[in-house]
């Protein structure tokens, strides 16, 4: 007596059904993850502006009696401006940060919005100043 064993496997319809279900789930999850990534970038820019860079700029002001000028920029936090005798930096542990979208932060002193000290902001994801998505120290 010979026993015939039938091999069992998935049919084409079953495989297609699983692929469709995975595709639907991915279509629902991927946009949520993309928004989370953008939210994380905005949070990082806010942290840089409200904490990291602001503290370094305030330390510069304490040591030198003034904020860096617009021309000196935040580069004055990493390297002493010419002729500055009271500079005690570098005021940043790492290299000058760029915003999460790879662009430099914009610094102006005196500020247009903060006329008593400075404006510090990122131009946001679109890279255009005033595009409505800027992240700034006056908001």
Cα separation, 88 vs 83, whole angstroms: 13
pTM of the model: 0.73
The DSSP bridge pattern shows strands 119-122 and 135-136 to be antiparallel
Give the angle subtended at the CA of 96 by the CAs of 91 and 92, to the nearest 5°: 20
What is 43-136's CATH number? 3.30.700.10
Residue 22 has pLDDT above 90, yes or no: no
The domains of the chain are located at: 43-136
Q: What is the mean pLDDT of residues 90-118?
A: 90
User: 46-55, 82-91, 94-103, 125-134 — which is least confidently predicted?
Assistant: 125-134
Q: What is the mean pLDDT of residues 78-99?
A: 89
Q: What is the mean pLDDT of residues 90-96?
A: 87
Q: How would residue 11 be classed by pLDDT, with cut points 50, 70 and 90? A: confident
Q: How would residue 21 be classed by pLDDT, with cut points 50, 70 and 90? A: confident
| Unique residue bearing structure tokens 């495989």 | 15
State how far the alpha carbon of 29 is from the alpha carbons of 14, 21, 37, 42, 43, in Å. 23, 12, 13, 20, 21
pLDDT at 80: 92
C-alpha closest to that of 107 among 53, 35, 60: 53
């Amino acid at each position: 007596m010979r026993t015939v064993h039938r091999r069992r496997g998935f049919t084409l319809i079953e495989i297609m059904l699983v692929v469709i279900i995975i595709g639907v789930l991915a279509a629902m999850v991927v946009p949520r993850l993309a928004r989370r990534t953008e939210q994380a970038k905005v949070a990082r820019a806010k942290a840089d502006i409200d904490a990291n860079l602001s503290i370094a700029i305030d330390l510069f002001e304490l040591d030198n009696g003034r904020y860096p000028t617009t021309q000196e920029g935040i580069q004055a936090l990493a390297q002493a401006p010419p002729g500055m005798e009271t500079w005690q930096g570098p005021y940043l542990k790492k290299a000058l940060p760029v915003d999460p979208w790879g662009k430099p932060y914009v610094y102006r002193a005196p500020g247009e919005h903060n006329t008593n000290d400075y404006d510090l902001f990122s131009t946001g994801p679109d890279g255009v100043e005033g595009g409505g998505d800027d992240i700034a120290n006056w908001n």
